[in-house]
Structure 1
């Protein structure tokens, strides 16, 4: 495994970080807790010391799974990244979505990052994670109903109290990062980034490089799209959020797989899977510090961790990019 420093912090995190959204089951058609715990432990055995979770993932389930998985590990050898600012148990802020929990019950989810809410969320997360501090605390989505000043000053207070080590954001644009920086030292921005979703290269990445912030790339495999395992006609299980996403329409599955077949000989030559090649490519891109990769069982986790043993030359990266630039997906028409 390789490790990189997050921004100006002293947090050294594994370049493949365990993304625990799917482990929580919510929006992924449920979860098997035992399998998820084993996945995290298998990752750790291969050097994946960093885990990214959030209260909303399974409405507490993901954090509980992480707490269970790391309870016997040395705390200073594990980096816990979690989030705040999405409430399913409080009607306040901006309605983000209507959803269902893992039992199928309807829930309304709000983006809310007011002071009292953050303090409560932090205490709840510490309890579920069975720890007394969080290494990186990140706002999950911008909350348009609460001043960034109030949100970030609260996190700064949690850092002073020793409950949080460092502050990060997720899904923030450059202007929002600049505003947040007035009140707390930010070390990172967690944003979606993959071969088929590269819009952050225009502004967020250059800003982060210039200001020594880390970019934590989530969904680098585009929720399974870039594994090469999904074929046209793929049927998702009930409750799986991917059903209605344009990436997974048959024509886009076909086009993506045609691209993946062009780079597959390179993966084969390195005795690697397509997913491993894609993960390695992702963390070789300018400004990308780590890739958050999900796994629902130990085998998936092991394969993800082994992606870092793949080495790519500049010529190979250039070849992948040339093929990637030919890929055009069918995008939904804007209403």
Structure 2
């Protein structure tokens, strides 16, 4: 488990992109499979669930809401995101309430999905603070922001602070190191999306070599490398039970310092 100033969460997060549909478009054909996958992930200890109003036009949130009914709410940490075209004050409030309704519960962590090119960040953050005060949202975060943007958002907040950032980071694309360092310095959670680069991570030679040493798969070694970074929580999306079990196998053990550094250098 990862402990931060305001919350403690699982080492891995389950992503729900393409569950319940695609970009603002719902699909219902795999609902049973996806709900079962979310349930299985929770059973395996992946109790942090990442979703967004854009995923399937909100249907992914509905699937998450359905899946968590069989579990104690305090054991689940739900992240969802508001799209930047809803970044105006009233639109943020409306979006968050709609997301909460689809989830059937409050939102643990609410993120602005991308920076808005037309709405001042202070207006958006003002709405986020209102949501926290009203109990609809517990914590505030951002997605696809760089350090200067995070700092600006924090300056806008009067009572609360940015507790998490969700950006793209992987062993094949470490261009966001500056934001990761900002997260480390400020003790905020860093959620890395697409950490497995759609499976391409498993082709890395050194991961295969080290995987044999630990009797693990290259995917498990890569995920453990991310987990070993104090503030990082990799987001992994899987609807296949075998893939979920493989991902969960990245938790509960630790690479040696030497092996971690060898991967980092490679």
Task: Calculate the TM-score normalised by the size of structure 2.
Answer: 0.92
Give the structure 1 partner of residue 98 of structure 2.
Answer: 124
Larger fraction in helix: 2
Distance 1:223 1:36 in 2: 18
Q: Does 1:269 align with 2:213?
A: yes
Give the CA deviation at 1:265: 2.6
Cα-to-partner distance string for 1:211-267 (whole Å, 9 max, x where unaligned): 2222111111012221x3xxxxxxxxxxxxxxxxxxxxxxxxxxxx3xx23431311
Distance 1:263 1:4 in 2: 24
Give the structure 2 partner of residue 61 of structure 1.
Answer: 59
Q: Does 1:75 align with 2:73?
A: yes
- Higher-RCO chain (CA-CA 8 Å, sequence separation at least 6): 1
Distance 2:124 2:206 in 1: 46
Cα gap change, 1:273/1:25 in structure 2, threshold over 3 Å: closer, same or farther?
A: farther
Superposition RMSD in Å: 1.9
Instruction: Tell which structure's C-alpha radius of gyration is larger.
Output: 1
1:181 to 154, 164, 173: 154
Give the structure 2 partner of residue 51 of structure 1.
Answer: 49
Q: Structure 2: which 5+ runs fail to align?
A: none
Give the structure 1 partner of residue 128 of structure 2.
Answer: 155
Give the structure 1 partner of residue 15 of structure 2.
Answer: 19
Distance 2:200 2:75 in 1: 32
Give the CA deviation at 1:209: 1.8
Matched position secondary structure for 1:309: coil
Matched position secondary structure for 1:217: strand
Q: Is the 8 A contact 1:20 1:53 kept in 2?
A: yes
Q: Is the 8 A contact 1:276 1:306 kept in 2?
A: yes
Q: Is the 8 A contact 2:83 2:114 kept in 1?
A: yes
Cα-to-partner distance string for 1:47-104 (whole Å, 9 max, x where unaligned): 1111010011111121111011101211111111111125xxxxxxxxxxxxxxxxxx
Distance 2:218 2:186 in 1: 33
Distance 1:321 1:208 in 2: 18
Distance 1:225 1:32 in 2: 25
